[in-house]
Structure 1
């Protein structure tokens, strides 16, 4: 019997990345009671926080993950002086700020995962090469950067995505081969780069379904679950026996 989970509307708040890009950005949050399985940072595509975040975050809730979502792509300066294009260092500092928020809630690095789409997928790959976390997933990253991840990384590419040329993918595969952690790169032939949210066509719908299944399985296998109070008590008794 299928169980319909109630939809949770994420809380949206304006957050100042004072220690990162020093931008003020809207951040969506879903916090769970009890003992969640893990924590996830959702890195949205450019301009897609309102469109994508709630659906992805509710999908993660169904598997026991609380999450925070943000769009770290270039933004207009508050003073109207133009567009702020964050450097890679600023993007990584922003991710570090978000990770710090999870640490304050009692999560350790191996209990946190990253999921990024489009521009966020590029940031997820950058972060996977910078931090040692539980898991990271990049869905059709806006740029295929040849890096060697330190976090187990899953890349999901579209075969007809112009942002991922065959040469770029070849260079990335070469770096992944030398990575100190397990990685996997999947390409869906015959679909465009927007397959993960525009999936009316049969092939794209199948790719979107498979990509989500792979994303959840990647997190479940590699993000270390937080032990429940009963598990902690059992461990304490076993160690003292």
Structure 2
């Protein structure tokens, strides 16, 4: 298989892991993730490296139920009552690109928190094959668990310099789907920005609903940023989501970059598109500020 981002249907069998989960289950897992690759991308090729000057940042643990949820955070040093952004990872976990996004937000005046939402199921950093990450980790993560963990992060932020009245969320790929779901889950959320997150798909025991199913339940406006050349998220799904939002009368928006592929913001991958990523980031900041976050 070559290095294109999305396998065709003929590639799925070659991606099936040694455990030989059934093909339908694996395809459903790919859909929930929003994309697939044969081998994880190399993080050493990141274009952007944001310094931590003037920031407080690092690793922490956040109480979530009986567990201690690992997380990375960044915020302006010595500041209080900060607007908070929950940053939701791709399937690769909280790697350097996600930490860099937190530092970028911190330089804009936010307390940014990126929790390790897979930590109970496993560490994707130690797995080379995408198929194994999807089948052994991602497929076992319940949406309900993720919602509870994000609630715990919001509570932690309120106790550590964040302003609970100015809470927002953004997420990439797998995290883009979660962004839509969390906007329907938390009535205290002010805004969300979903980067190329899956919008529809088959329901499963752990993933019973998708964004298009909860469009009418959104508690906060969401900005969706999508690529017109994304082979994993059909434009038909984007239009279906737009129609659902319009029918529900929700003040959310979706922007499609016609020439952009999936993961156009991921500056450590060949899919990165600087112009679209820069414009999307500008829109993110404007959206958060416009909606009081």
- Decide: shared fold, TM above 0.5: yes
CA deviation string 1:182-224 (max 9, x = no partner)? 2110011111112102389899211011011001111111135
Q: What is the deviation of 1:94?
A: 1.5
1:138 maps onto 2:185 in alignment: no
Q: Any conservation in 1 of the 2:111–2:162 contact (CA below 8 Å)? A: no
**Match of residue 234 from structure 1:** none
Instruction: State the TM-score, normalized to the length of structure 2.
Output: 0.64
- Structure 1 CA distance, aligned partners of 2:83 and 2:113? 12
- From 277, 280, 283, the counterpart of 1:208: 277
1:18 maps onto 2:65 in alignment: yes
- Equivalent residues in 2 for 1:1-241, closer than 5 Å: 6=53, 8=55, 10-15=57-62, 17-18=64-65, 25-32=69-76, 33-35=78-80, 37-73=82-118, 76=121, 83=137, 85-105=140-160, 107=162, 109-132=164-187, 133-144=189-200, 145-146=211-212, 147-148=214-215, 149-179=218-248, 181-198=250-267, 204-224=273-293
Q: What is the deviation of 1:180?
A: 5.2
- Structure 1 CA distance, aligned partners of 2:82 and 2:156? 17
Q: Any conservation in 2 of the 1:10–1:29 contact (CA below 8 Å)? A: yes
Alpha carbons of 1:73 and 1:200: their partners in 2 closer, same or farther (altered >3 Å)?
A: closer
Q: Any conservation in 2 of the 1:199–1:205 contact (CA below 8 Å)? A: no
Q: Any conservation in 2 of the 1:39–1:102 contact (CA below 8 Å)? A: yes
Alpha carbons of 1:11 and 1:173: their partners in 2 closer, same or farther (altered >3 Å)?
A: same
Q: Any conservation in 1 of the 2:192–2:221 contact (CA below 8 Å)? A: yes
Alpha carbons of 1:100 and 1:200: their partners in 2 closer, same or farther (altered >3 Å)?
A: closer
Root-mean-square deviation (CA, aligned residues, Å) is: 3.0
Q: What is the deviation of 1:71?
A: 3.9
- Structure 2 CA distance, aligned partners of 1:100 and 1:177? 32
CA deviation string 1:9-66 (max 9, x = no partner)? 73113445326xx5x5430012442345411111111114122223211211222111
Structure 2: state its 5+ residue gaps: 1-50, 124-135, 201-210
Q: Any conservation in 2 of the 1:45–1:73 contact (CA below 8 Å)? A: no
Q: Any conservation in 2 of the 1:140–1:155 contact (CA below 8 Å)? A: yes
Q: What is the deviation of 1:92?
A: 1.2
SS at match of 1:64: coil
- Structure 1 CA distance, aligned partners of 2:276 and 2:260? 8
